[in-house]
Amino acid sequence: MHRRTLLAGVGVSLVLAVAGCAERDSSGEPGNDNAARNGNGENNSGRVADVEFQTRGDARDVDAAVSDNPKVEVDGESREISVEGRYGIGDRCHDEVLADLVYHEEHDSLTITLSRKHDGGDECELEDQEVPYRVFVRLDGSLPGVVEVSEDGNGARGGATRVELD
């Protein structure tokens, strides 16, 4: 378990630093693999000011079932987008990750993808994990016209939400 905690801390720190946010920490659970990017694969840090991914303990009060679509809320004044939900990530050899957070300038849209990552273990308990989560994204500048969220957890496409903000 200490290996997971160490890897989670490194992953979360790297993503938060690249996304321009070193002052806000995540839950300490397994974290993000990819930096916030724009649609061209370049760093999004000029547009995305802050990203926080909370799971498990920090999101235990999320009132959602795996069968529910992600819930998106927007605060126009602070330019913060919050997403919450619950998704399945499969057996105990997988950890939850914020796999992608992409601002597509040409489409004026923000895409958020939650997924899973194999932790390298080879002895996996056959228990289907359900993970509650929250994602907070604060933007510099105006809000995007569209926010799309997808949960791609245990190999099967989970919930998805598309919210038009215009």
**Which bin fits 108, alpha (ψ -120 to 50), beta or left (φ > 0)?**
left
Q: How is residue 108 annotated by DSSP?
A: T
> What is the value of pTM for the model shown?
0.71
Residue 123 binned pLDDT confidence (cut-offs 50, 70, 90) = confident
Kindly state the helix (H) or strand (E) to which residue 7 belongs, with its residue range.
helix 2-18
Residue 57: CB atoms within 10 A of its CB come to 10
Provide the token pair at 91.
């057996």
Which pLDDT band holds residue 31 (cuts at 50, 70, 90)? very low
pLDDT higher than threshold 50 for residue 38: no
**Which tops the pLDDT comparison, 95 or 22?**
95
Number of Cβ within a 10 Å radius of residue 162: 13
